[in-house]
Each structure stands twice: as structure tokens, then as C-alpha cells.
Chain A
Amino acid sequence: MSGCDNDDKDTSRREFIKTVLDAGAKTFTFGSLICITAKLRLPEAGASDGVVQKELQMPAIYGFLVDTMKCIGCGSCVRADKAENDVPEQYFRTWVEQYTFYENGEVVVNSPKGASEGFAEKGRAFQPKGDEKPVKGFFVPKLCNHCINTPCIQVCPVGASYKTPEGVVLVDKKTCVGCGYCVQACPFGSRYIHPVTNVADKCTWCYHRISKGLKPACVLACPVGARTFGNVNDANSEISKALRENRVQVLKSYMGTNPRTRYIGLDSEVI
């Protein structure tokens, strides 16, 4: 019987340990849940959705990478952007430039209608110029560089141009006085005064989409993956990998604006 007693004792000890561990695990789980819930509840006190992400991991800092080696100049990005953001007909939040190098050393750059209709005139993108045959050619998609040291925000007299915590440069349409100083200050021609709203307008990296975890319209529309967008603070993101694996350059680096839009395969002729 004593054996039985022992067994019983063992059983009850085991039971006890099990119960304690179980209770501990449950408490831990419950406690963690309370903690997480508490954390999740915090932003409800008036902060934006982005705060949840901030509490749990490094803040997202967005970057944009353009691979000029991949771009085929189809203009899908320009059309997608126009449709997504209701961009006025004569202006562009993104456009594609075509660079054609001729035998005599001449370089011709153009971007008819911002490349919204592509470059496939006569079925060939790179046309001969008189007797001169094109010897080299490529396309360079352009958009707001969302500079870190941005001159447009610096010069805005009323603070209507601002930067989000993720590094996106935006314009507050309700504050902008439409002086055009930012349009003058941007070295890249990324801004314009909207002909209807009379305020400064520019590429937002589709902020309304990216703040919901979606990709910018131009990135989605690109059939060859020439545009990569993502969180550069996340080492596993597509853009972080691409930035690690490639040598990248920015436009007009001598301006010291420190653009967040970077390029693969920029030629020295690209300004």
C-alpha cells in the first residue's frame, strides 16, 4: 500500500507541479496578453496607427529604389500614378526620361508627356537622328526624392511642407499659401502648383496607400520591377536587400539634399 501511497504521492506531486506550471504558463500568457493589450490600447489615446508599429519594433523609414537597368520606358508607372492620385493633365508626380546617345557623341534627353504614353513611337524607342544612329540608350524614371535634408521644407514660409515620421515629404493643402517658393527650391523639378487647388503638389509615395501597408501605385504598375519601395529599417525588406546587393547613387548628390530615392545604374549624363 505504501507503494501505492508513494505512487499517489508521486502522482500528486506530479499533478502539483503540472498545476503550478500550468497556472504559471496561463498567468504568463494572460499577463502577456494584458501587457500586449495595454500596449495596443495605448495608441487609442489619440495617436495614429503608426504608433503601434513604433512600440513594437524600430520605426519604419521608407526608401525608394529605381533600377534604371530594368526600366523599359513603357510609362505604366506614370499612367498608374495619374489614375491613383488624380494628377492634373499637364503635370507629373512621376515621369520617365529617355536618354539616347549618338555616334557623334551627342546625347538627347526627352520625356514627351512625361512618358505617360511611353516611347514606342514607330515601334522603336531609340530613333536615329538624321544619319546619326543611336549607340546607347536607357530610361530613367523620376519622382520626388523625399530628401532627408530637403530644401522645399526649409523654404516653406508657413510650414505647409513637412516630413512624416517615416521620412515622407508631404504638403498640407489647407495651410499652403501657394507662393511657389518650394517649387523654386526643389532642385529636381518634382513640385508644381496644382492648377485647380492653387497649392503646391508633389509625389507622396502614395502615402494614403503605404500607410495601410500597400505599395505605391507606380511600384505595383511597373511590369519589370524597376521600382522597389519599402522599409529600409527592416533588414529583411526587399529594398534593404536590394540596397545591400547593389551600388546605388542619387540624383544631384552635389546639392547635398540627401535623397531617399536612390538609383541603380545612373549614368553621368543623368542630371
Chain B
Amino acid sequence: MHHFFAEGYVLPNQIQIWWTCMIVLYPYITGIVAGAFIISSLYHVFHKEDLKPVARFAMLMALAFLLFAPTPLLAHLGHPERAFNIMFMPNVTSAMAGFGFIYLMYMLILVIEIWLLYREDIVFLSKNASTRVMRKVYWLLSLGVDDVSAEAKRLDHKIMMFLAAIGIPAACTLHGYVGFLFGSIKGNPWWATPLMPVIFLLSAVVSGIAMVLICYLAIQWVKKRPVDGACVQSLVEYLWYFLIVDVTLELLELINHAYMQNHDWEILKELLTQKLFFSLFVVQLGFGSFVPFVVLGALVIFRKRFSEKARSRLGFASAIILLVQVLAMRWNVVIGGQTFSKSLRGFLGFDIEFWGREGLLFTVVLFAMPFLALWVMSRVLPLWGPVSTFPKKYLRGGS
């Protein structure tokens, strides 16, 4: 059970922090979706050739995380069985009512794009997979379309380009919308800022790129495959760039609060200097932003002085720190915003529970699910390149 404690005057109905681990996890997962998709689009739409080694993987990673994006929300609802009310009877003035539609639209774009991206491989595998069952599965996945002529592929490519192009604003909408959910709550001075959607979006991109980099390097190292230095360098550069813009805006928001000193500043000052000091100034800004800023900056500015190995290792470490940074940012927004009472005179305490629907264990299990989905996808589709990179044992005549 939660242990509730409060200090100062807390409004009687605010006896507990209502949005906890699940609502921290939800923007964290959708953020990774947005970031991974943007990496994939940088290759597919903007033709950043350096990113080719991770372009397919990033797309499937976006899907894996998107599949589980609604699960923390579902787990949090008082009545999960009524979840579809949000689509059947949406209230047009509610930002939250947009979730189902934005989510479905984005899911549709992503699935069609992945299907087109893998269509040729799927058709090939429907004829050459190692078992009959798998050949049937691939045939079903191909939707019975086995035309892979040059003309058909040209059309595929055209549609893909179009979808990727609308996919970028869709990804921005999905995550900007998550920020708006918080930013539009005027009753909460720690949330209510038009910067919120922008900060959420940029930190989303940071976490997505970081996750792609981490998974790419980890898998290459485990599989003892060579790491593409140009690809790592490119990811490091994007990571650094988005980190700078993201942290600048995060700081801008803090400075704005401190400088304007509105009626809520008294309580916000205490929130920042007492309650969130460690998670905000130490974890999010000090360790989480400054260290990667310096390390990634060095990798970008002095790129020639680092060996490929050092670049990969430093990039990997920075990416892990940045995942912590973004998690801390989500925590500081979601939990921080509920730590003080709307009386603006008191604070609520919060201990993470281990068991239970909002507990740590369930949070970790839910966060592991996208990786499980990614593993399942890796059994069905080649993650890293054309079908020639697919393990031979999955092919007819393979060992």
C-alpha cells in the first residue's frame, strides 16, 4: 500500500498522488515511439544515408513501443472496461479524447509503412521460409499480394515516402499531444505552460534516438557484429542537437517561473529547491543533461580524435544517461505537479509501492513488453537490412 503523508495544509481530497508510475511510463513509452520514428524518417524521407543501418530497426522499434503505449493508461483507469468510451463517445473539448484517434491514425501510418517497407521480404519469405507454417504466415502477411516487379516497387516507394512525410507530423502530434495533456491544466502551475508540448516532444526525440543507439550497439556487441561508425556518429550528432534544444527549453521554463514570480512562485520555489531538488537539479539537469552534453559535444566537435570503439562506448553511456534524464523529466512533471496541494500551502508525500497495479514491478514488466515484442518481430522480419541479413536457419534449406 501507499504510505501517505502530508505537510503544511493539503486540501482534504488530495490525500494521495493519483497519477503515479503508470502515468510516468505512458509519456516515456510514447516518447520513444516518436524519437525512433523520426530516426527512421531521417533516412527514409530526408535520405540521411548514414542512418541506413538502423532505419528499419527504428521503424519496428516505434511499432513495438506504440503497441504498448496505451497499456499504462489502461492499467491506470478506474474502469478499464469502459476504455472504448473514449472513442465511442468522445468529448470534443477534451484533449484526452483525442488519444484514441491520434493513436489509431499513427498506428495505421506505421503499420502500412512497415508493410510496404518489408513487402518484398515478406513475398520472398512466403516462398522461402523454412517451415510450411511460416510460409503460410508470410503469405497471410503479404495479404496475397506477391507482385514485386520494379513498377510495383516504385509505387510502394511513392506511398512510403508520402506516409513517412505525414508520419513525421503524426509523430509530433502524438507526443506534442501528450505534453498538451499536462500543459493545458490551468489549475496546476507546474504543468500549465505552452512550452510543455514542445519540451515533451523534444525530450521524446532524445529518448527515442538514445534507445535506438543503445539497442543497436548492444545487439551488435552481443552478436559480435561490426558497428557502423558513421551511423553511430550520426546518431550521436542528432542526440546532441536535440538534447541542446530540449534542455534549453527546460531551463527556459524554470527561469521563466523564477523570474516572473507569479502568485504560485512561493510553492514552486519550495517544490524545486526542496522536493524536486535531487530528481530535477541533480538527476535531470546536472547528471542527466550536463554530462551527456559535454561527452556528446566532445564526440561531435573532436570527432577525429576518438577511436570508433571509444565513440561507441561514450555514445552508449551518454544514451543510457539520457534515458535516465528523460525518465527523470517525466517523473518531475507528472509526480512533481502533484506533490504540492492546490491549496498552494502544503505538500503530499509519495513512496513508490512495489506490488500492485501502479507498483514498480508492474512498471518494469510493462516497460519490458516492447522489447519482447521487438524480439518476436525479429523472428519474423529482418531487423537490420534486406532479407539477405536474415538468419539462414529461418530460410528453406538453411541450417
Contact = CB atoms under 8 A, between A and B. Distances in A.
Nearest to A110: B9
Contacts of B19: 180, 184
Given A114-B12, A185-B187, A158 B89 contact: yes
Given A157-B91, A158-B91, A271-B343, A95 B79 contact: no
B9 to A, nearest CB: 4
B185 interface: yes
* Interface size band for A: 35 or more
Given A180-B18, A184-B188, A159 B91 contact: yes
Interface in B1-39: 9, 11-15, 18-19
A189 B343 contact: yes
**Which of A114, A159, A177, A185 neighbours the largest number of chain B CB atoms within 10 Å of its CB?**
A177
B190 to A, nearest CB: 11
B219 interface: no
Interface in A179-212: 179-181, 183-193, 197-199
Contacts of A198: 78-79
A109 B345 contact: yes
B67 interface: no
B364 to A, nearest CB: 23
Interface stretch (A64-72, A119-127, A148-156, A238-246): A148-156
Interface in B82-100: 82-83, 85-86, 89-91, 93-97, 99
Interface residues of B, number: 40
A189 B6 CA distance: 15
Contacts of A199: 78-79
B48 interface: no
Interface string A80-101: 0000000000111001010000
B76 interface: yes
Nearest to A201: B13
Given A177-B77, A180-B78, A188-B342, A158 B12 contact: no
A137 interface: no
A157 B12 contact: no
Contact of A156 (B78, B91, B263): B91
B344 interface: yes
A197 B186 CA distance: 27
Contacts of A192: 13
Contacts of B15: 90-91
A255 interface: yes
Given A157-B90, A157-B99, A158-B85, A184 B76 contact: no
20 contacts: A92-B12, A95-B12, A111-B9, A151-B187, A155-B95, A155-B184, A156-B94, A159-B90, A159-B91, A178-B79, A179-B77, A180-B76, A181-B181, A184-B185, A185-B185, A185-B187, A187-B186, A191-B13, A192-B13, A256-B186
